[in-house]
Structure 1
Amino acid sequence: MVDKNTRVSSLRLCLAAMVAAGAIGNVQAAAPDTKRVIVAFKPGVAAAMKSSVAGLAKGSIKHEIFGTNSVAMEVSAAALKGLENNPNVEFIEEDAIRYPLALTSPSTGTPYAAGQLVPYGIKMVQADQLSDAAAANRKICIIDSGYDRNHEDLSANNVTGEYDAGTGWWYTDENHHGTHVAGTIAAINNSGTGVVGVNANKQVKLHIVKVFGADGWAYSSTLASAANKCKAAGANIISMSLGGPTQNTTEKNTFASLATAGILNIAAAGNDGNTRASYPAGYTSVISVGAVDENKAWASFSQYNSKVELAGPGVGVLSTVPMGSGQEAVLTVGAASYAPGAMEGSPVKTATAPLADFGIGNAVNTAMAGKICLIQRGTVDFAVKVSNCQNSGGVGAIVYNNVAGAFGGTLGTTVTTIPSVTATLADGTAMKSQLGQNATVGIKASNYAYYDGTSMATPHVAAVAALVWSYYPTCTAAQMRSTLTKSALDLGTAGRDTKYGFGLVQAKAARDRIASLGCGN
C-alpha cells in the first residue's frame, strides 16, 4: 500500500461509464430521418462510386475512410434500400459510435530524478527495472483526444501528429483524456517536476491522432481512418483507450490488416463491469486490456470476458492533464497534513477556519458558522451534507468515510461556494481529536489528476510493449504479443481467466524471457 502522505491529489475522475473511441471528421449525430452507415465498394469502382454515390443515394457523405474503398454517409431508408441493391456495393453496415473509456511514491533519485512522483503502476509493471535507452526505435500511435504539447512533463518528447478539420490540431486536448494516457506512456523524467511514465527518458516516439473533440465521441469509420493513419506514420504500436459495444466489419478488417502488417493493436476492455465485449478490444487482432488496482485486485468496473488478454494498473492512476485543468485537494489540521480526495463539483478555492464536528450533516446547525465542517459519510448524499454546511455558515467541508479506505465524491448538479474534500475513515477519526484547531481545506488547480478506467490500464500495456520491443526490434508484433502474455504475472484463477486475461503485464519478465528463449517462445 502506498503511503497516503505522498499523494499530490485525490481527484479520481471516474471514467467508469466511458470506454473510448475515435473521430476524424465532424462528429454529429445522424438526423432523425436518416441513418449513418458505412458503405464499402467493390474493387475497381470505388473512385467512380465515391464521386457519384451522394447524388445517386440522395444521401450525404460524412467521411471517406482513409486507406479503404469505403465511405461513411447518412441516407434515408429509401435510399439505403437502393444502395443495398447496387451491384457495385460490397457491403453496408452501421457506423457505430465510439466513446473515450478513466497513488504514488516519491522518487528516491534512482532510477528517476528526485523531486518527482512515481505512479504505482510504473513499478507494478516493472518499468523501473528496465532502461528505455533504446526506445527510440519504437513508435506508439495514440488514438485519443489529443496531447497538450505545452505540458511541463510532455513538451520535450519526440512527438508528431495530424490536423483534422473535425477535431482540430493534435496538440490540443479539450477533454483531457488523451493527455492523461500520454503521460502514462511517456511523462518525462525531469527533476522536481510531476510524474514519470513507463518510457520516461524522451526516447520513445509518439504519434497523435486526435479522434475526440470537446464532445468526446466519434464513429467507427473515423477510428478505422485513424488506425490507418497510424500505419502511414510508421507506428509499431497503436494504443486505444476507447471503444463501444457494437462491432463492425470495417473496423474488424482494418485491425486485422494492421496486425498482418506487423502493428501491435491494443485497446481498453471497457468500463461497464459486465461480461459484454467492447470493440475494438473484442477483435482477435487486438489485445484487450482489463484493469487492476494498486493491490493487483480486479477493478470492479473492468469488463470481463474471454477477450481480455492482459491487465494493467487502472485505478487511481496519476498522470498528466492539460496545464491547469486538473485539481489537487489539500487538507491540513493544526500541524498535521492529510491526503484528501477532491469532491467533484467543489469550487477551486481554499478556506482556513477552526475544525468543528458536523455529525452526518443532515441538518442545518448555526454553530458551524465560520467553521470547517467535519462530516461523516452516510444517510444523506454529499450534496446535502456540503449544502447544509454552507447554509449553516460553514466555510469548508470535509466528508470522511464510514468504512476503511479512500473514496471519490461528487456534488452532481448542486452548486456550492465552499471548498469540499473527502477523507478516509482513519483520517476522519484522527481529525476528531483535533476539533477546534485551525484547518485548511481547499481545491487547487493542478497539471495532474487521478483517473480510473481501463483507459488508464491500456497505455501501461502499450508502453511496456514498446519498452520491451525496443530491446529486440527484430521480433514481430505477433511474437511480442505472445511474449507479453507468457511473461505476465498470473492473477486470479490459475491460467488465463476472464478478469485478468493472462495476467498483469511485466516489462522485465518479458525482456528476460526473450533474452532466454528468443522472440515469441
Structure 2
Amino acid sequence: MNQKHNRAAKFVPALGLCAAALAVAFAGNASAAAPDTTRVIVAFKPGAKAAMKSVVAAAKGSVKHEIFGMNAMAIEVPAVALKGLENNPNVEYIEEDVLRKPLALTSPSTGTPYTAGQLVPYGIKLVQADQLPDTNAGNRKVCIIDSGVDFQHEDLSANGANVTGEYDAGTGNWNTDENHHGTHVFGTIAGVNNGTGVVGVNPNKNLKLHIVKVFGKDGWAYSSTLSSAANKCAAAGANVISMSLGGGAKSMTEQKTFDSLQTKGILSIAAAGNDANTTISYPAGYSSVMSVAAVDENKAWASFSQYNSDVEIAGPGVSVLSTVPMGTGQDPVLSVGASTYAPTAMEGSPVKTATAPLADFGIGDSVNTAVSGKVCLIQRGTVDFATKVLNCQNSGGVGAVVYNNVAGPVAGTLGTTVTSIPSVGASDTEGAAMKGQLGQSATVGIKASNYAYFDGTSMATPHVSAVAALVWSYFPTCTGSQIRTSLDNSALDLGTAGRDTKYGYGLVQAKAAYDRIKSLGCGK
C-alpha cells in the first residue's frame, strides 16, 4: 500500500547488488581446495593459535582465514594430515568448512524463457510465471489504481498502445509518477522482456493495462476517489483491478462499488496492509475483494504483513526488485582493492562516488585530519550515522563506509543532515574484511538507478493481480469469482495446514492454477 513506499525508502538496495555481482565476490573468496587437500575449520584452545599455525605449516597446509572473535581458523591441508590434527591436544574440534552462497533476490536470465542481459526478480519464479507463457494475455486487461507510471521508462514504454490511462485534475497525467509507487507496481506486472533491467509476470507486451492515478506527490486519496477510480477501471473494460493501497476504516460506498464490480465479473485485488497486526485494511477487507499478504524469497511470512481471517492469498513482498521513475533509484557501490562488496544505501547520501585510500576512522566520534583525502571506514556505535559521516567530511574525508557492530548489514539514514561526501553501510563481516585492507584504493558512493527494491504487501499485490490475468487469459470464459476460487485452491499451502491468518490459502501459483482449471474446469 502507499504508506509502504515511505517505509521502503529507508533501505533500498539497488540494481547493482544483483546475484551476478554477489556471485563474483563470493567466487573470489571461496575458491575450491586443491586436489588431495581439504578445507576445514579447526577450533582450538585459548592461547594455542601460534602452536596451531606451526602444526598446519608442518603438515604442508595453509591458513585460509582466521575467524574473527573465535579461537578458530579455516585451513587447507592434505587430507592425510587430518587424523594427526584430530589427535592434537590443542584441538577442540574439526569440521568441514562448508560453502555458503548468496540467497539471491534476483538471478541473471539465461536466455530461457527471458532474453539474456536482464535480471529475473525472485518473485517471478516463486509464483511460477516463468512456467506459463503470457501468449494469450492480450485478451485480459489489468487496471492499476495507484500513483501513475513513468511511461517513459526504458523497461515499460515498449508496452505501447496496450496501455491507456485517465487524466485527473487533482493528480495529473497517468503517465507520470511523483512518488515511485505505481511505477514499481507496473514493473512487477508487465516489465518488458527486452534484455534490459528486469521482467514482470507478463513480460511480452501482450497484456492490456489501464492506469487510474489516485495518488499525487502527497501520497494519499479518499475512499470516494477510490470508488470513482474502480468504476473507471470497469468502464475501461478491466478484468482485474490491482490496488496496492488501503486504510483502516470501512466505507459503505466502497463496499457497494466492489460488490457491484464483482457481479459484473471483475476480480478486485488489494493489499492486506503493512502494520504487522490483526487489523483488517480496506478495500482488502470487503468480501468482494481478494486480500493479499506478503512472503519473502524463502516463502516465509513477512513480519510486517497484517494477519487476520480476511487474508486470502500471499505473494512475494520482501525486497522486490522492480522499476522506479528513471534515475530515481539508488545503486550503492563499494569496492576495496580487488574486492567488491554489497553495501546498502545510506539514506540522505548525495548521488556521487569517490575513490581514495581506505583509512580507519574508529567510531567516527571526533574530527581527525589524518583521514584527509581518504575514504573513512567507521564502526557503528555511540554516535549517530549523520555525526559519523559529518565528522569524516570535516576531517577532509572524501567518502564514508559505516559497518555494523552486530551481525547483519547497516541500513542507516543521515536524517536532515546534508553532507557533500557519499556514504554507504556495510555488514559486520564486510567491515572486518575491510579492516585488513586499510591503505588500499576504495571506491564508495551512490549511483542513480532506474530500479529499486521495495518491501510491502503493495509489492505482493501486483504479483497476484498479474498471475490472475495470466491464468485467466487461457480461460477467458471463466468469471472473476471463478478465477479467484481456482487461485485459492491451487495456491501453495504455507504455514498451518489449510487457510490461515498469515498466508491465507498460500502462495499464488500460475502453472498450478492453469493445470487445475484445465483439468477440473472454472472455479474448482
Bigger mean CA offset, 493-502 vs 395-404: 395-404
Distance 1:498 1:381, change over 3 A: farther
Pair 1:6-2:19 in alignment: yes
2:498 is matched with 495
Q: 1:164 aligns with which of 162, 168, 189?
A: 168
Does the CA-based 8 Å contact 2:18-2:106 persist in structure 1?
A: no
Does the CA-based 8 Å contact 2:16-2:333 persist in structure 1?
A: no
Distance 1:167 1:7, change over 3 A: farther
Q: 1:111 aligns with which of 106, 110, 113?
A: 113
Distance 1:342 1:224, change over 3 A: same
1:336 is matched with 339
Pair 1:353-2:356 in alignment: yes
Partners in 1 of 2:332 and 2:134 — Cα distance?
33
Deviations 1:277-317 (A, max 9, x none): 11111111111111111222221211111111111111111
Larger Rg: 2
Mapping of residues 212-231 of structure 1, within 5 Å = 212-231=215-234
Query: 1:407 Cα shift?
Result: 4.8
Q: Which runs of 5+ in 2 are unaligned?
A: 1-14, 23-104
Deviations 1:172-228 (A, max 9, x none): 11111101100000000002x111001010011110000011111110000000000
Q: 1:261 aligns with which of 244, 261, 264?
A: 264
2:203 is matched with 200
Pair 1:421-2:424 in alignment: yes
1:373 is matched with 376
Does the CA-based 8 Å contact 2:297-2:316 persist in structure 1?
A: yes
AA in 2 matched with 1:163: Y
Does the CA-based 8 Å contact 1:8-1:328 persist in structure 2?
A: no
AA in 2 matched with 1:138: R
2:141 is matched with 139
Query: 1:403 Cα shift?
Result: 3.9
Mapping of residues 14-413 of structure 1, within 5 Å = 103-157=105-159, 158-191=162-195, 193-413=196-416
Distance 1:244 1:502, change over 3 A: same
Deviations 1:97-153 (A, max 9, x none): xxxxxx211111111101101111111111111101111111000000001111110
Deviations 1:344-381 (A, max 9, x none): 11101101111122233333333222221222334433
AA in 1 matched with 2:509: Q
Deviations 1:28-56 (A, max 9, x none): xxxxxxxxxxxxxxxxxxxxxxxxxxxxx
2:86 is matched with none
Partners in 2 of 1:398 and 1:179 — Cα distance?
31
AA in 1 matched with 2:188: T
Distance 1:439 1:150, change over 3 A: same
Partners in 2 of 1:395 and 1:464 — Cα distance?
47
Distance 1:186 1:252, change over 3 A: same
Matched positions, count:
426
Distance 1:485 1:340, change over 3 A: same
AA in 2 matched with 1:370: G
Partners in 2 of 1:403 and 1:519 — Cα distance?
52
Partner SS for 1:209: strand
Does the CA-based 8 Å contact 1:5-1:337 persist in structure 2?
A: no
Does the CA-based 8 Å contact 1:5-1:338 persist in structure 2?
A: no
Partner SS for 1:328: strand
Partner SS for 1:243: coil
Distance 1:8 1:197, change over 3 A: farther
Partners in 2 of 1:185 and 1:438 — Cα distance?
42
Does the CA-based 8 Å contact 1:139-1:235 persist in structure 2?
A: yes
Query: 1:512 Cα shift?
Result: 1.3
Distance 1:116 1:249, change over 3 A: same
Percent same amino acid at aligned positions? 78
Partner SS for 1:156: helix
Does the CA-based 8 Å contact 2:16-2:332 persist in structure 1?
A: no
Does the CA-based 8 Å contact 1:351-1:440 persist in structure 2?
A: yes
2:516 is matched with 513
Distance 1:508 1:407, change over 3 A: farther
Distance 1:378 1:520, change over 3 A: farther
Distance 1:389 1:127, change over 3 A: same
Distance 1:426 1:491, change over 3 A: farther
Pair 1:467-2:470 in alignment: yes
Query: 1:404 Cα shift?
Result: 3.8
Partners in 2 of 1:383 and 1:320 — Cα distance?
29
Query: 1:7 Cα shift?
Result: 6.9
Does the CA-based 8 Å contact 1:370-1:394 persist in structure 2?
A: yes
Does the CA-based 8 Å contact 2:321-2:451 persist in structure 1?
A: yes
AA in 2 matched with 1:190: N
Distance 1:463 1:336, change over 3 A: same
Partners in 2 of 1:398 and 1:513 — Cα distance?
52
Partners in 1 of 2:476 and 2:510 — Cα distance?
15
